[in-house]
Structure 1
Amino acid sequence: MSATQPTLVFLHGFAESPEIWTDFTRGFPTRYRVLTPTLPGHGPNPQPVADYAMEAQARAVLAELDAAGADKVLLVGHSMGGYVALALAEAHPKRVAGLVLFHSTALPDPAEKQAARDESAGFVRRHGVEKYMRSAIRPLLAPANRKRLAAELKQLEETAAVTPETTILGCLEAMKHRPDNTHILRDAKFPVLFLGGHDDPAVPLETLLPQLALPAQSHAVLLRGVGHLGFIEEPELTRRAVLDFAAGVLGEIDTGK
C-alpha cells in the first residue's frame, strides 16, 4: 500500500467501529488505498477523550491522514462519520477530493431530535450502554431486514455495547449541538454522493432530498427497502455506488487532471 495511491477514507458512525467496513471494502480494486480510522473513544480498545465535538473528531482523523501520508482523499462517512467528514471538509476543503454522505446529513438536529438525544443520555445513565444499544440499533434497519440480518445486528450490538459510557454521552451531546452545515455542501468544490434509504428513521428522505440540490456536483443513490445501515442491508448496491463514484473522483487525481 503506497501513500501515492488514490485514497478512500471510511469513517464509521456513532458506537460503531472500523470493522463495519471490513466486508464492505473487501475486494476493492488494488489501485486504491483504503483507510478506516477509529473515531475518538471508539474501537476495540477505546480511550475516552475530553472533546467529542465533530470538529475535534475531524482533527483526530486529519492527524491519522497526515501520519499515513494521505493528502487529497475521498471521504466516506456513515451517519456520525458523515458529520465528522463535513467538519473536516469545512476546515480543510483542499484535502477533500470527494465526499460520500452515507445515511448522513448536513442539517442540525431539530428540537425533537435534540430532546430524543437527551432522553437517550438519561437512559444510558440509568440503565447502561448495553441495554440502550439493544433498543437503539434494531430500529435503524428497515422492518423487512431485521430478521434476515439478525447475525449482523447482533454483531453491531456487541460492538456498540463495549463503547464507553463517556463516549456515548459525549457523542450524543456533540451531535445534539452540531451546527447547520448545509453551507459546506453549497460551497463544495468537490463532488458529493448521497446514499440514502427510503426507510431510514435517522435521516428521513424528506429531509435529505432538498440537500441534493446544494452541491454544484451532486450524485445520489436512494434505496427502497433500506433503513440507516445500507452497508449491510444492500451491500452490493452501496458498494457499487461508492466504487462508481470513486472511479470518477479518484481517476482524476490518478491521472493528474
Structure 2
Amino acid sequence: MPAAPALTFIGLHYWAGSGREFQQLAQLLAPDYPFLAPDLPGFGAATEPGSSYSVASYVKALESYIAENGVGRYVLVGHGMGGKIALALAARQPAGLAGVALLSPSPPGPEPLTDEDRMTSMRAYGKPDEAEKTFRKITARSLSATSHQQILEDNLRSTHLAWDAWLLHGSREDLSAQMCHVQVPCTILVGDQDDVMSPSVHGLETLPLLPSGTPLEIIGGAGHLLPYEAPEEVNRLLRDFVQGL
C-alpha cells in the first residue's frame, strides 16, 4: 500500500464558482502535493444542502468531506467566499490542519458591499450578459477561451438559493470574534488589480485578525480570480508557504 501524502491541499472556491477553478493550480502542484477541490453546496455540480447556507453549514459540509476522503495533514486554500469558510473551520482547530492560504478572501467581518451593489448582484442571477459583465469586472489578465467559458458556466449554474443566501446572509456574517482561535500559520494572496476587494481591504480587515507574522503577498497585474489569472505565481507562493510549516 502506498504511503499517505505528507500534505494535501483542499481548495474552497469563490462565490458563483466551482472547484474547477483550481485545475491549473492542482496540475502545477502535482505530483508533490495532492489537491482536492470540492464544489460547495449550491454551486458547481453540488446539490442543495437541505438545511441552510450559513458559514457554519458550509463548515459542517467541509468537515464531512475531509472525513469521507480520509485526509490526514492538509492546508486549506480559500478563495473569496471560500476564504471565510476556511477561516471558520480553522477557528475550530480541527485535527490535521497545518495552515491556511487565503486568495482574495472574504474578510472575517461583513464584506464591504453597498446595499446597491448587493441588489445589483441579486438581479444579475441567471443572466448570461450579466455573467459576462461580472467576468470582465473580476479579471484583469487575459484568459484562454476555455477558462472564460468555464467561469461563465459556473456563474450560470449556481443555484438561486445559494446565490442569494451568500449575498444576503453569508457575506454579512461576522466571525471576527472567532479569529483568536486560528492558531495555524496563514498567508494572504491578492491581485493588485482586484476590483472586488482591493489589497487595502485585506490589510485592514483580515490581516490584523490573523496570527502575528502573517504575510500579505500582492501579485502584480492580477484581478480577483488568482487561480485562473496567476496559477504559476500562486503555485510558487504556496510551495514557499508549506515549506515553512
TM-score w.r.t. length of structure 1: 0.83
Whichever residue aligns with residue 99 of structure 2, its letter is G
User: Which whole-Å deviations, capped at 9, do the CAs of 1:23-64 have from their partners, x for residues lacking one?
Assistant: 211042434332212201122354464311111111101101
- Map of 2:123 onto structure 1: 122
Contact 2:12 2:83 in 1 (8 A): yes
The equivalent of 1:136 in structure 2 is: 134
Change in Cα spacing, 1:203 to 1:93, as seen in structure 2 (3 Å) is: farther
AA aligned opposite 1:133: A
Q: Is the 8 A contact 2:40 2:46 kept in 1?
A: no
Summarize the Cα distance change of 1:156–1:134 in structure 2 as closer, same or farther, 3 Å threshold: same
SS in structure 2 opposite 1:100?
Answer: strand
| Equivalent residue number for residue 199 of structure 1 | 193
1:139-163 alpha-carbon deviations (Å, 9 max, x no partner): 0112xx2xx2252223201221122
Q: 1:172 to 1:190 in 2, by over 3 A?
A: same
Aligned residues: 241
AA in 2 matched with 1:52: Y
Cα contact 2:111–2:172 (8 A) shared by 1: no
Where in structure 2 are the equivalents of 1:19-168 lying within 5 Å? 19-44=20-45, 46-47=47-48, 49-109=50-110, 112-124=113-125, 128-142=126-140, 145=141, 148-149=142-143, 151=145, 152-168=147-163
- Code of the aligned partner of 2:214: S
The percentage of counterpart residues that share the same residue type is 25
Write the letter of the residue equivalent to 1:240: R
Query: Which protein has the bigger helix share?
Result: 1
Q: Which of 224, 227, 232 is 2:223 aligned to?
A: 227
Give the Å deviation of 1:85.
0.6
TM-score, scaled relative to structure 2: 0.87
SS of alignment partner, residue 91 of structure 1 = coil
RMSD of aligned Cα (Å): 2.4
State the one-letter code of the partner of 2:183.
Answer: K
Structure 1: gaps (5+ residues)? 250-257
Which amino acid in structure 2 is aligned with residue 155 of structure 1? Q
Q: Secondary structure at the match of 1:109?
A: coil
Equivalent position SS for 1:76: strand
Alpha-carbon distance between aligned partners in 1 of 2:86 and 2:94, rounded to the nearest angstrom: 10
Where does residue 211 of structure 2 map in the other structure?
215
- The equivalent position to 1:169 in structure 2, one of 160, 164, 167, is 164
Q: Give matches, 1:238-257, under 5 Å.
A: 238-249=234-245
Change (3 A) 1:204 1:43: same
Q: Deviation at 1:196? A: 0.8
Q: In the TM superposition, what whole-angstrom CA distance separates every residue of 1:90-140 from its partner, at most 9, and x where no partner exists?
A: 22344421001101143433564354223321343xxx3434322222201
Once structures 1 and 2 are overlaid, which stretch shifts more, 237-246 or 113-122? 113-122
CA apart distance, 1:169: 1.6
| C-alpha contact 1:106 1:182 (8 A) present in aligned 2 | no
Q: Cα distance, 1:84 vs. partner?
A: 1.0
* SS state at 2:184 partner: coil
Q: How far apart in 2 are the matches of 1:129 and 1:171? A: 18
